[in-house]
Structure 1
Amino acid sequence: MKPPFVVSILQKVVEQIGAVLLIDPECKFAGHITFKNGKTTVFRSTQFNINGFGAAEIAKDKGCSSFFLRQLGYRVPEGKTFFNQELCQRINTLRNIDEGFEYAKYLGFPVIVKPLNLSQGTLVTKVYNKREYYQVAKKIFQVTSGLIVERFHLGNDYRVVVLDDEVFITYQRIPLFIIGDGQATISELLQKKQLELNQSGRRLIDLEDFRIQKKLTRQKLNFETVLPKNNIVYLLDNANLSSGGEAVDLTEKIHPDFQELAINITKDMSLRLAGVDIITSDITQPMEDYTLIEVNGSPGLLNYASFGELQIQRVENLYLKVLQTMENE
């Protein structure tokens, strides 16, 4: 059986530095590394010991990290956290699902509603009205106890991957889309897209994702619509690669202003390895404005690496530097 992506990359990297890699045969994405100098480290999926525990935990909590980033002077979306009824009673707060709706009205629709502590774009939704807000909020509360309501910001979506004082990877994230051929239905085009992702080793699209239906309905389309040739239809609002999005590699083109911004954000959050998610008009131009969406302390790079050999090499270079840094500290 093919090993998980992170493990396959680390198998190459440890040979280069003469380290020994031991993988748990049942939990195949967890491992132990012994360096030549006798030092050891462990990892689980994309979580390495390069970041301190406290910093990594704060990065996972989107509400908490947003608070600190705002206090540190960074431009983050205006937003608040809200909780399910059980947690509201436990922590003695009135910030429940209904207060979340009142806050969404205050910000002005559309707003972004997203889980407080889930990853990979799970249930992140752009909502336009009361009905959609409650639909999304209830779905989030089925799987986690907190959500965030945020002001929506226009712009292109970028991820910048930083290790210490260096930007290793930069790419634009484009939401899941299909291109019409004048013959196939949207359902058929989506299944074709699914097959392409599967062949490249990427995570499959959830064809039952309610957000896809919602997005189609807003565009007066349905799964049986035949798209004219070359017509592009976006099926999600969030641009996560794990949701079927595409990447445009800009590692060699990111402007120094944004390199400095991403490095400073990583440092100020006491992280060493981070994926910094930014919305701006063009990350290759001097920085005039931006919105910092979030900071990820264990950025997944499988989907990025699926776009070609150059991308795989960039990921290998990053993980090589991660291990060398931990070995030599």
Structure 2
Amino acid sequence: MLALKPLALSFSVLARNDTNQPRSDPRRRRGTGGPRYGFGLRSPVVTFRHDAPACDIEDWQELDRLIGEISNEQFEWPKFDRRRFGSQASMRILLATSAIQNAAGLPVFEPGCICRSGLDRRVQAVVPVAEGRERIALRALRWSTRLIGQYIEFVAGGHTDWRHTANMRHELVRDFQRTAPAGQNTIHFLRAAHQRRIPYSIVYESCYRYGQGSGQQWLESTFTPNTSTLGVRLARNKQRCNRVLRASGLPVPDNVVANSEVDAHRAAQRMGYPVVVKPIDLDGGVGVGAGLETEEELSAAWQEARKHSENILVEKHAAGRDYRLTVFRGRLLWAIYREPGGVHGDGVSTIGQLLERLNSSPDRGDDKRSPLKRIAFDTEARLMLSRMGLDLDSVVEIGRFVPLRKASNTSRGGMPLAVNERVHPDNAELAVRAADAIRLDLAGIDLLIPDIGVSWRESSAAICEVNAQPQMGTTSQTHLFGVILDELFTNGNGACVPVYLILDRSRELTAGAALETELSRRGYRVGFVHRRGARISGIAVSKPGRPCALACQLITDRGIDALVVSIENPEDADNGLPGPEIAGLAVYDDNHDSRPRGLDRLLEMTIPMQPHRRVIVSENAAASLAESVRRFGGEPIHVGNNPNEVVTALLTDSPADYQSQPAGAVDSSGAA
């Protein structure tokens, strides 16, 4: 048996606003400095070092299969140098650490990278974390390191119970989920932003800031900066919403407020069965009883609705299929048919077997993050079958649909089926008018109509609900999050502001000030930070402080179109930068040829953050600097000691690559 020394870890956290408290805990510290970035990752990061294993192995298949099962995210394998000690083990530590965070619903969408390893067999790597969840990442790292270490020992002939450690992931995921963003919409928006290289940071709870500076947008679930508070309040009162839609000439069913069970029966007798019972002030199908045909069913539904709300509505049942039409900024984005929870016959299997097979789908679950919900065989399902003369042991013909739910909400087990191409133009316009009538920029319109391909003016139709905060995380709609972000940011342009980092060793911060002046001359509102404080458009807005901490604060200000970060020592950037990308990096020294401490770490961290990977180097900078720049994959650009030459070189790649020119901007020649 081969005895192996356990993999030893040491950590360095770039982001400082860490917490491991649940969402409801008031002790959580939100937004205390913002996320910190580095090493080319699009997420805040934690750096760590570990001892490379004393031996290497070739058989990773069983472990790789496990890591692939942890998360549904399709991670790319981390980049690594096969010649380095421990790179295979390090790569899998990165993958497992990211996978378990992602499985818990945390916004971690990439695996990290290996920076370097030394002759002492210490490997340095970087792993992405969710903002404010650095302690979660450290726990995930410790678990991953233990897992990989035990697996290596097991394959090498040791007696370790690595599978027990692997099974601990279930408990970790449940624990981590307490700190994940609430609801389904937020995590999908964050994933879409990550794919589009749009940075994001927490404002509060599930409200996130997407973008930077003047280009930022705030979103809380599907609430946008333009979502009307009055519209949301109106949509969340079904009776008032119905009244406004009716006044606008839109088709809606009759309804009556039922303050008691007796009132409910009187309303049903007056309107005629079948009817629907629903809470006035709740969404998501909570407490809804649909297609009620008898007094007994009405009483049971009213009592169930009263468990969830004191405000109950009795509504005339509108015949037709249930469609959800999602509207954004005056146009129809997507339409789905919401098939009620049920099973499709195959001519062989019993209904019970079909239901068991349906509920075993990985897309179905009982937790809030599952895109589809399992269908329990309860009283409602038993009643639905009995009306059709069926039971769980019945075998139905191929293609026959057997509904087990009256309501079609996905929260009740419904299945969304895309029908966007079939929507009649009149029905699309109806949905747009309904959203506008309630004054909502983004809304989900629930339309009951026999056929979505036939105009509502030529058939029976009714708008049964307008959702001010539609849940779009179902299987057929996840692309909508990217579509909405694309429209908010005009296909990504304007989401970011150009950030310039200058290691300025002159006494007067000459190069940084020169860049600030030139960008201002071109029409940009410039944020400038250094140890003496921060200013916007020349006006001081802070006390002295650490430049990168001030930069994290300033980049949230809508009054800046560009940001210049001037540091005097490389250590000033040790805690990371305010965004995942920088537009330019320069090392300026006007009076001596010396190599500042920590320069290699600065270059290693910042060169991958630039699209062009260039470093502007002034003449008096250390002669060995060019070699270091190349070692970390960068291209040194040599200029003279005049700070204006540094500025010219930095602006060779126009800030327009990051953000469109602001109104009234001038070009470099001074022409308007």
Q: TM-score, normalised by structure 2?
A: 0.42
Instruction: Please list, as runs of the form range in 1=range in 2, the aligned pairs for 1:107-118 lying within 5 A after superposition.
Output: 107-118=271-282
Structure 1, unmatched stretches of 5+, are: 84-95
Q: Secondary structure at the match of 1:135?
A: helix
Q: Give the AA of the match of 2:201.
A: L
User: Equivalent residue for 1:259?
Assistant: 428
In structure 2, do the counterparts of structure 1 residues 98 and 39 end up closer, same or farther at CA, with 3 Å as the change threshold? farther
Work out the number of aligned pairs and report it: 307
Q: Is 2:320–2:448's contact at 8 Å kept on the other side of the alignment?
A: yes
Give the structure with higher Rg (CA).
2
In structure 2, do the counterparts of structure 1 residues 71 and 275 end up closer, same or farther at CA, with 3 Å as the change threshold? same
Q: Is 2:443–2:469's contact at 8 Å kept on the other side of the alignment?
A: yes
2:164 is equivalent to residue 164 of structure 1: no
Instruction: Please list, as runs of the form range in 1=range in 2, the aligned pairs for 1:94-173 lying within 5 A after superposition.
Output: 96-125=260-289, 126-173=291-338
In structure 2, do the counterparts of structure 1 residues 158 and 34 end up closer, same or farther at CA, with 3 Å as the change threshold? closer
Inter-partner Cα distance in structure 2 for 1:60 and 1:322: 25
Q: CA deviation at 1:116?
A: 1.5
In structure 2, do the counterparts of structure 1 residues 217 and 249 end up closer, same or farther at CA, with 3 Å as the change threshold? same
Q: Is 1:77–1:293's contact at 8 Å kept on the other side of the alignment?
A: yes
Moved more, 36-45 or 133-142: 36-45
2:335 is equivalent to residue 178 of structure 1: no
Q: Is 1:168–1:318's contact at 8 Å kept on the other side of the alignment?
A: no
Percent identity at matched positions? 22
User: Equivalent residue for 2:413?
Assistant: 244
Inter-partner Cα distance in structure 2 for 1:18 and 1:196: 32
Q: CA deviation at 1:65?
A: 0.6
Q: Is 2:444–2:466's contact at 8 Å kept on the other side of the alignment?
A: yes
Inter-partner Cα distance in structure 2 for 1:50 and 1:210: 43
Q: CA deviation at 1:124?
A: 2.0
Q: Give the AA of the match of 2:342.
A: F
Inter-partner Cα distance in structure 1 for 2:195 and 2:357: 39
User: Equivalent residue for 2:352?
Assistant: 187
Moved more, 73-82 or 234-243: 234-243
Inter-partner Cα distance in structure 1 for 2:233 and 2:339: 28
2:244 is equivalent to residue 68 of structure 1: yes
Q: CA deviation at 1:57?
A: 1.4
In structure 2, do the counterparts of structure 1 residues 203 and 280 end up closer, same or farther at CA, with 3 Å as the change threshold? closer
Inter-partner Cα distance in structure 1 for 2:196 and 2:330: 22
2:469 is equivalent to residue 301 of structure 1: no
User: Equivalent residue for 2:228?
Assistant: 52
Inter-partner Cα distance in structure 2 for 1:293 and 1:196: 30
Q: Secondary structure at the match of 1:102?
A: helix
Q: Give the AA of the match of 2:262.
A: D
Q: Is 1:18–1:36's contact at 8 Å kept on the other side of the alignment?
A: no
Inter-partner Cα distance in structure 2 for 1:210 and 1:227: 20
In structure 2, do the counterparts of structure 1 residues 37 and 156 end up closer, same or farther at CA, with 3 Å as the change threshold? same
Q: CA deviation at 1:45?
A: 3.4
Deviations for 1:4-46, whole angstroms, at most 9, x for unmatched residues? Answer: 6433432344346664322489x6xx13215333465544433
User: Equivalent residue for 1:313?
Assistant: 479
In structure 2, do the counterparts of structure 1 residues 199 and 293 end up closer, same or farther at CA, with 3 Å as the change threshold? closer
Q: CA deviation at 1:136?
A: 0.9
User: Equivalent residue for 1:90?
Assistant: none
Q: Is 1:216–1:235's contact at 8 Å kept on the other side of the alignment?
A: yes
Q: Give the AA of the match of 2:245.
A: L
Q: Secondary structure at the match of 2:417?
A: strand
Q: CA deviation at 1:184?
A: 3.8
Q: CA deviation at 1:284?
A: 2.0
Inter-partner Cα distance in structure 2 for 1:16 and 1:225: 47
Deviations for 1:119-142, whole angstroms, at most 9, x for unmatched residues? Answer: 222232221111111111111111
Between Structure 1 and Structure 2, which shows a larger proportion of helix residues?
Answer: 1
Q: Is 1:112–1:151's contact at 8 Å kept on the other side of the alignment?
A: yes
In structure 2, do the counterparts of structure 1 residues 191 and 117 end up closer, same or farther at CA, with 3 Å as the change threshold? farther
Deviations for 1:160-182, whole angstroms, at most 9, x for unmatched residues? Answer: 11112211101222111212345
Q: Give the AA of the match of 1:79.
A: N
Q: Give the AA of the match of 1:97.
A: E
In structure 2, do the counterparts of structure 1 residues 322 and 183 end up closer, same or farther at CA, with 3 Å as the change threshold? same
Inter-partner Cα distance in structure 1 for 2:463 and 2:269: 22
Structure 2, unmatched stretches of 5+, are: 1-100, 106-180, 496-557, 559-672
Q: Which of 209, 214, 228 does residue 33 from structure 1 map onto? A: 209
In structure 2, do the counterparts of structure 1 residues 255 and 180 end up closer, same or farther at CA, with 3 Å as the change threshold? closer
In structure 2, do the counterparts of structure 1 residues 43 and 315 end up closer, same or farther at CA, with 3 Å as the change threshold? closer
User: Equivalent residue for 1:86?
Assistant: none
- Structure with the larger RCO, 1 or 2 (CA within 8 Å, 6+ apart): 1
Inter-partner Cα distance in structure 2 for 1:132 and 1:313: 39
Q: Which of 383, 386, 396 does residue 228 from structure 1 map onto? A: 396
Q: Is 1:50–1:322's contact at 8 Å kept on the other side of the alignment?
A: no
